[in-house]
Every structure is written in structure tokens, then in C-alpha cells.
Amino acid sequence: MNIQVHATKYGNIAHYDWEMTLLEQREDFVIAEGKAGRKLKHHTKGQTFTIPHASLEVYALQEGFTVSFDIQNGKLISIYCNITQPCIQHESHVSFVDLDLDLLWNEAQGWHVVDEDEFADNQVRLNYPPELIVYARQALEDLQQRIAQHQFPFDGSLDPIIHHIANQAAEREV
């Protein structure tokens, strides 16, 4: 089953949309696969991008994050985590409010936080209430602890799915 993913900025400002394949629905998480070549409509940049790599994505329904395990050339190349308000699932749609801060991992740099400047700018530009700023910082800290403590989705339980997607992607690339 395909699901539509819709990200907004605070204030219900359209940010980006893309389509995924639902793999699993859990009480607190939606797990989906992104095929290489999928389109991402980036509303804030007014462009549509083609995503060249496959991914396994996790949308947290009770906590403030999304995770994209990005897969290319038959292997995991990066992990991209958005700090968000909890995702909302309604039928075949998942939506979330992107709170700018991102936590990334790649082989060259390890784990690192990006978009601090965007977070600071949007606090003013989008008039973030003080409790939202505190929430975003706490969500980032909670996610970093989740990673350090090897809690889902960083506990290795998704490794077989990641390897399966990587193998499929590698076969298509040959």
C-alpha cells in the first residue's frame, strides 16, 4: 500500500510531499520504504526533486522525530533524522511538522546536528512559542539518547529490512 507523506513548517506552511510504500504499522511507528527515483515536491523551494537512492523511513507517532535510513550502491550511506512534532497518520497519509533541527549520520562525520541556523531564523520568522523551542531541543536530546541507548529504530531490529532494500537496490543498479 502506498502512503502519502506531507511535511509542513510551523503554522501549517506546506514544506514537502512524497510517496512511500507502507511496510509496517505499529502502535507508535509507521515504517515505510522509499524507492529510488521517487519524486519529492519541495514547496518552500518551489521545485520537484528526484531522489536517487532508496530508503527505509520511520515516522514516530508519539515522539518528535522521523528517521530515513538512506541506501545506495547496496549499502547504508546515511541516516537523516528530522526533529518534528509527533507524526499524524490518517488512513494512507502521514504528516508532521518539521521543526528545522536535523540529526545526521554518515561514515565521514558520524552523528552531527545541522540546521541550527534555520531553527534560530524560524523561531523569529514563524513566531515559535517558547514551549515549542523547548520541545524541539528536548526532542533532539531524547533522540540522541535513544541512539546512544540503542533503542528502536537504532537497536538493529530494522537491519534485515535495510539489507533487503540494499540488495534489491544493488540488483536494480547492475
User: Mind spelling out the 3-state secondary structure of the chain?
Assistant: CEEEEEEEECCCEEEEEEEEEEEEECCCEEEEEECCCCEEEECCCCEEEECCCEEEEEEECCCCEEEEEEEECCEEEEEEEEEECCCEEECCEEEEEEEEEEEEEECCCEEEEECHHHHHHHHHHCCCCHHHHHHHHHHHHHHHHHHHCCCCCCCCCCHHHHHHHHHHHHHHHC
pLDDT at 82 over 60: yes
Ordered by start, the domain boundaries in the chain are: 2-173
- The architecture of the domain spanning 2-173 is Beta Barrel (2.40)
pLDDT score at 173: 59
**Model confidence over 119-141: pLDDT tens digits?**
999 999 999 999 999 999 999 99
pTM for this model (two decimals): 0.96
Respond yes or no on whether the N-terminal peptide bond of residue 52 is cis (omega within 30° of 0). no
Query: Quick check: 122 and 136 in contact, CB under 8 A?
Result: no
157 band by pLDDT with thresholds 50, 70 and 90:
very high
Query: Quick check: 75 and 165 in contact, CB under 8 A?
Result: no
pLDDT score at 71: 96
